[in-house]
Structure 1
Amino acid sequence: MDNQFLKMVSPLLFTLFLLGCSHQRIEVASVSTANDKIQQNTPTVLFNLPRTENNFPAYIEALKTFARENGISEAVIELGFADVYHLNRVITADKNQPEKKLTLAQYLAIAASESRLKLAASKMAEFHEQVNHAETLTGIPAAYIIALWGVESGYGRYQGKDDVISALATLAFEGRREAFFSRELVAALQILEKGYITKDEFKGSWAGAMGQNQFMPSSLLKYGKDGDGDGVIDIWTNTNDVLASIGNYLATVGWNSAGYWGNMITLPKDFDLTLAGLDNNKAKSLLQWQQLGIIFADAKSRPHYDEKAWLILPDADSTSVYLVYSNFKTLMHWNRSYFFAISVGMIADSLAEK
């Protein structure tokens, strides 16, 4: 997802939906997707009327003009905007995201619960052939592909049911992040133009995230991968494409095939906590961290002593401390949440132990 958008929503941190079932999806306020902007000719939609619902039809005409100026054919414009409607619920959801902040322990008790780890193992076995093929195609370990698939959509169970064009048009019309959502709308029209999905089946979350890996439209265009060679990238119903696209995302943004994601550690008394963080200038070698007194608190494998590592404190008031490595930062590119990346790493670790 767009960097600016993520910076705006990430302070809200973690929002839980549908907590009644252990197989249900945990969503975070920052929707997981790619961070890169699609290149387009016209930077903004030209619209000067009040942003009231009665002016939404006029705004759709402005969006059509914007789409034309960005190379979308007239046929696709008419198809994409046919029966488009204002989604009041989308605006309500966007403005009223719950601000309740979970601790890491509370989050992991749900996201990486024993039942979810067992489900991940069963999915790894069930889709063994497809995920191994995705690993071969992209070089990303199958365990991480399965883990991300589960965290993002509960293995395809929770993909969203909102019309993607209507959701993106409504969010662009609302105005606070018009540039971002109008770009994503053009990307959505490009997806229709490529024939990846029919208009009737073009569904996603209220924020426009789509399919079993919850890509924003621009992310599908950039990172989507045809996993079975049929010429179409279908992240809604084609498991081969879903898994290959997850792997391709990680491979493209910089996965270290020989790397690790992190280790839990303990700190010595009076440790300088200003050393924590993921800024590049806060990286130290594993040896340097050990010389500062950190102690490994898990039995997991760890990198070579000269590997770059960062120290993170997921909770401001928690004793949970981690040393994390380059692959953790790659997972953070998918979703800028310590909790998210740790949960994906833990699920992947559990699968690697099988």
Structure 2
Amino acid sequence: MKNSAICLTASTLLLASCAAKSPNAEAVAPATPTVAAQPQASSTNSSASTLAAQGRDPAEFPGYVEQLKQQAKAQGISDATITAAFANVHFVDRVIKSDQNQLEKKVTLDDYLSRVITQAKIDKARELYKQHQAELASVSAQTGVQANYIVALWAMESQFGKIQGKEDIVSALSTLAFEGRREAFFTKELMASLKIIDQGHAAADQLKGSWAGAMGQNQFMPSSYLRYGKDGDGDGKIDIWNNTSDVFASTANYLAKEGWQAGGTWGMEVKLPAGFNSGLAGTKTSQGKTVSQWQKLGVTLPDGLLLPASTERAWIVTPDDNQARSFLVYNNFRTIMRWNRSYYFAISIGTMADAIVK
């Protein structure tokens, strides 16, 4: 998603191995794919060998692009948009390697959190939280999403807008569709990116983002931009690249539409009893229990104190699969996971949100 020399944002460090930590999560469509840090440009030979294993030759890419153009035309995209969007389309070999290499590295939750939540980032988040207090308060009042969670996502996704990615979105998505492993998904996102241009939200040369197609300060995929993008300042535009009002409004709109419970928290770390049935852990609806029910099963606070008696529904998650650290999480945690289907990511957002208002 970003240059490999920059390893400070949550999405940059969020490898597919982290997403694998949430096997029990119900299927959701994340706004931002779980991706690894973008490596330096790989050799064409490396990409060619990767594609060859799937029966595709990079030399066939131009012909494939013509097929994509026809699909776009069939979906009602104007000829002018198709011409502009594909004017400089090119095969991006480093995108292939980035997508294929997501499983190569594994990190623990503690490693991940120590790298994405630094004191410097917390300090900056607190500063910007205060600086934008008025517009954040307005968005929170309209959506019920607390301002500290909006800022936490802003911090993790792009370091407050500093790291958005510079890849040509049409080229990246065309390349990933051509790769074939997730052709349907990336073709859908490509068509969404063309609709953004066709509807006048952004010019073709302005569509820049991560190697995986995520865009703007909140790293929305194109389909999420169309579904959740919101004009925050009433200027008639939805500019998630440059306008913080639109970034805040769009982020909150996403969470609100995906089931955010106003005023609710995300969860807390807990201690599981010896012999805890691991099959009870997970975030499927059927795995939820009231806090009081978890208490009766022996779940306590880390220091051994009892959980507060409550009828609120909650779930148990064990991110590292070995019960080294466990968390009791609420509905809003599951909503965050609709943004990115990873226990690591959702815990980092909750942890940062808490730190901002401490």
Give the shorter-chain TM-score range: 0.7 to 0.9
Aligned mate of 1:329, from 312, 316, 334? 334
How far 1:290 sits from its partner (Å)?
Answer: 0.7
1:35 is the counterpart of 2:40: no
In structure 2, do the counterparts of structure 1 residues 242 and 217 end up closer, same or farther at CA, with 3 Å as the change threshold? same
Alignment partner, residue 102 of structure 1: 107
Paired AA for residue 288 in structure 2: A
Paired AA for residue 277 in structure 2: D
User: Could you tell me whether the CA contact under 8 Å between 2:165 and 2:211 is conserved in 1?
Assistant: yes
User: Could you tell me whether the CA contact under 8 Å between 1:286 and 1:305 is conserved in 2?
Assistant: yes
In structure 2, do the counterparts of structure 1 residues 75 and 23 end up closer, same or farther at CA, with 3 Å as the change threshold? closer
SS across alignment from 1:294: coil
> What are the equivalent positions in structure 2 for 1:52-63 lying under 5 Å apart?
52-63=57-68
Deviation string, structure 1 residues 23-58 (Cα, Å, up to 9, x no partner) = 7974313599x8289xxxxxxxxxxxx732222211
1:244 is the counterpart of 2:238: no
Alignment partner, residue 292 of structure 2: 287
Alignment partner, residue 75 of structure 1: 80
Rounded Cα–Cα distance in structure 1 between residues aligned with 2:209 and 2:231: 20
Q: TM-score, normalised by structure 1?
A: 0.85
Rounded Cα–Cα distance in structure 1 between residues aligned with 2:314 and 2:10: 33
User: Could you tell me whether the CA contact under 8 Å between 1:227 and 1:241 is conserved in 2?
Assistant: yes
Deviation string, structure 1 residues 227-278 (Cα, Å, up to 9, x no partner) = 0111111111111101110000000000011322111111222222221111
Give structure 1 stretches of 5+ with no counterpart.
1-14, 38-49
Aligned mate of 1:338, from 337, 343, 350? 343
Rounded Cα–Cα distance in structure 2 between residues aligned with 1:17 and 1:101: 19
> What are the equivalent positions in structure 2 for 1:58-207 lying under 5 Å apart?
58-207=63-212
Deviation string, structure 1 residues 120-144 (Cα, Å, up to 9, x no partner) = 1112122223322322332210000
In structure 2, do the counterparts of structure 1 residues 16 and 168 end up closer, same or farther at CA, with 3 Å as the change threshold? closer
Rounded Cα–Cα distance in structure 2 between residues aligned with 1:22 and 1:61: 38
User: Could you tell me whether the CA contact under 8 Å between 1:26 and 1:111 is conserved in 2?
Assistant: no
Alignment partner, residue 37 of structure 2: none
- RMSD between aligned residues: 2.5
Shifted more, 143-152 versus 318-327: the winner is 318-327
SS across alignment from 1:51: coil
Paired AA for residue 321 in structure 1: S
Rounded Cα–Cα distance in structure 1 between residues aligned with 2:215 and 2:2: 19
Rounded Cα–Cα distance in structure 1 between residues aligned with 2:169 and 2:15: 18
Alignment partner, residue 52 of structure 2: none
User: Could you tell me whether the CA contact under 8 Å between 1:226 and 1:245 is conserved in 2?
Assistant: yes
> What are the equivalent positions in structure 2 for 1:255-294 lying under 5 Å apart?
255-294=260-299
- With CA pairs under 8 Å and 6+ residues apart, which has the higher RCO, 1 or 2? 2
Shifted more, 62-71 versus 173-182: the winner is 173-182
How far 1:298 sits from its partner (Å)?
Answer: 7.4
Rounded Cα–Cα distance in structure 1 between residues aligned with 2:30 and 2:207: 22
Q: TM-score, normalised by structure 2?
A: 0.84
In structure 2, do the counterparts of structure 1 residues 309 and 21 end up closer, same or farther at CA, with 3 Å as the change threshold? closer
In structure 2, do the counterparts of structure 1 residues 208 and 107 end up closer, same or farther at CA, with 3 Å as the change threshold? same
Paired AA for residue 289 in structure 1: W
Rounded Cα–Cα distance in structure 1 between residues aligned with 2:56 and 2:206: 28
Rounded Cα–Cα distance in structure 1 between residues aligned with 2:115 and 2:256: 28
Rounded Cα–Cα distance in structure 2 between residues aligned with 1:16 and 1:81: 23
Rounded Cα–Cα distance in structure 1 between residues aligned with 2:310 and 2:113: 29
SS across alignment from 1:200: helix
User: Could you tell me whether the CA contact under 8 Å between 2:201 and 2:238 is conserved in 1?
Assistant: yes
User: Could you tell me whether the CA contact under 8 Å between 1:162 and 1:203 is conserved in 2?
Assistant: yes
Rounded Cα–Cα distance in structure 1 between residues aligned with 2:108 and 2:58: 39
How far 1:304 sits from its partner (Å)?
Answer: 6.2
Rounded Cα–Cα distance in structure 2 between residues aligned with 1:199 and 1:175: 24
User: Could you tell me whether the CA contact under 8 Å between 2:9 and 2:155 is conserved in 1?
Assistant: no
User: Could you tell me whether the CA contact under 8 Å between 2:228 and 2:254 is conserved in 1?
Assistant: yes
SS across alignment from 1:296: coil
